[in-house]
Amino acid sequence: METLYLRPVNIFEKIERHINERRWLGHVCFWAIILMLSVSYGKYVDRDKFSFVLTLGTCSIFLLPQILASYFLAYFVIPLFLGKKKYSVAVICFIVGSYLICAIARLLIIHIAEPLVGLIPKDFETLGEVLGNVPKLLYVYFYPIFSIAFIFLIIKFIKDQNEIQRRSLMLEKEKAETELKLLKAQLNPHFLFNTLNNIYSLSLDNSPATSKSIARLSEILDHILYQCNHQYVPLSGEINLLNNYIELEKLRYDENLSVSFQTKIDEKACISPLLLISIVENAFKHLGAEDADHMSVNICLRSTPSGIYFKTENTFIKKDPGAARGKIGLVNLRRQLDLLYAKKYSLDIQESGSVFSVTLMLNNIVQ
């Protein structure tokens, strides 16, 4: 039985997820923070003359060109510059747009913010004077407006990069899961093909072992279809699968084959399903002809607190035409290990004389 561990919920992760689901809320929070900082700065500057209502009003008015500049940069100039590669057009738009935004900001201050605090617009501050006084627009308005716009741009860039990284990881995970399913789809028919051949051979001889082998095949199919739907399963279930497969193979080879299967495991140990059966199936394929003498398969399985150790040794006929075909299972096995265990495994394949051995070591997976 799998044990489910609940990770403590991080309050910041909840806030981030909530804001990501409602993008407008993130924008509102950002501008609310900027507004409160502006009001706090006004209180520090005005001290005893500070009026919260008036300061909030004037800061809110000045916030409008800051918002306009931020979205102008983030959603028009930058996409034009980086996305469409129209560098000269983007630069011209930035200069013209910045000039107009600063002019709008000054007009808002002159005709709305200053009258709000009791200042009457001066006669010389005409529209022509406002538009023509470029140094004042640059030094008085451009820097405070576009400094906030650049902060907005940096935050948006970081957020977009995190979103791209998250989507990339999700796509990689989905790709790995799809590839893993394809590998298992290649493995299962491959295994069933050989097992059905065994049963077919027994049925031709009217062997009484036919019904027993069908029952074992039924258990194997039950395990594959209904017990392997999780990424990791109890190791004990995989041992039952191996025992059924081995018994089917022993019925096929009769007295010509000796099999040793030694296990010493922790009942809580888990493993990715159908990995070990690939190695065992490969061991039997390398045995060669069914009438060969002195065939043997030795299997050892151990689990420790640090991981799982699995080794098969079998007699080996080098010119066996089925040997090359048997390597399909090992190729699939290695790819599955790369997807499931990454760098947390070692697979060693050796040929020594007439003995073929495969040794697999896996790091424990915490469930």
Residues 6-48 pLDDT 10s: 444 456 556 666 556 677 888 888 899 998 988 887 777 766 7
- Quick one: pLDDT at residue 186? 55
Calculate the average pLDDT of the chain.
Answer: 81
289 — pLDDT class (breaks 50, 70, 90): low
Q: What residue segments make up the domains of the chain, in order of their start?
A: 11-168, 207-363
Q: What are phi and psi of 264, to 5 degrees?
A: -150, 100
Lowest-pLDDT choice from 44-53, 107-116, 221-230, 306-315: 44-53
pLDDT value at 236 more than 80: yes
Q: How confident is the model at residue 366 (pLDDT cuts 50, 70, 90)?
A: low
Question: pLDDT tens, 326-355?
Answer: 566 677 788 888 888 878 899 999 988 889
Chain centroid to Cα 180, Å, comes to 14
- pLDDT of the residue at 45: 73
Mean pLDDT for 242-269 is 85
E strands within 51-139? none
DSSP state at residue 255: G
Phi then psi for residue 309, to 5 deg, are -115, 125
What CATH class is the domain 207-363?
alpha beta
Structure confidence by residue, pLDDT tens digits, 136-166: 888 888 999 999 999 999 998 988 888 888 8
Dihedral pair phi/psi, residue 258, rounded to 5°? -115, 135
Cα(14)–Cα(161) distance, integer angstroms: 19
Q: Is the pLDDT of residue 1 over 50?
A: no
